Amino acid sequence: MLSEVLMPRFSETDVLGHINNTVLPVWFEAARVPIFKIFTPDLNPHAWKLIVAKVEVTFTGELFYGQPVEIKTHIEKIGNSSFVILQQAWQHDECCAEGKTVMVRYDFASKSTQALSTDERNALTALL
């Protein structure tokens, strides 16, 4: 499992004083960087090998400004050319949101999916 702690910014709050629902997908994407590096170690966008096929977020509690949030990330499932990333946002020892993202190994030149390599599969398996 990967873990990253962030501090919510005031600009991420809504009129009700909660972290806005649009913020969680951004936080989750930022916490996926170690996974991106499995495929593109230097994060060069011209050599990118992944696309997002699906993103879903389930909210189970409130998140607040000025209090640390821990994003926990792990791999839930590995397929032939895709994998599912499960992420959770924790604040005050409570899971407040859970996200699932389906990522696909992709060749932008041929505009087609590619099977995960053995090295990629092994690196992802370590995060199951």
User: What range does the domain containing 81 cover?
Assistant: 2-125
Number of domains in the chain: 1
Q: Assess whether pLDDT exceeds 90 at residue 5.
A: yes
> How many CA atoms are closer than 13 Å to the CA of 59, on its beta-carbon side?
11
Distance CA 85, CA 112 (A): 21
pLDDT for 61-95, tens place per residue? 999 999 999 999 999 999 999 999 999 999 999 99
| CATH of residue 40 | 3.10.129.10
Phi and psi at residue 110, in whole multiples of 5°? -90, -5
Q: What is the pLDDT of residue 34?
A: 98
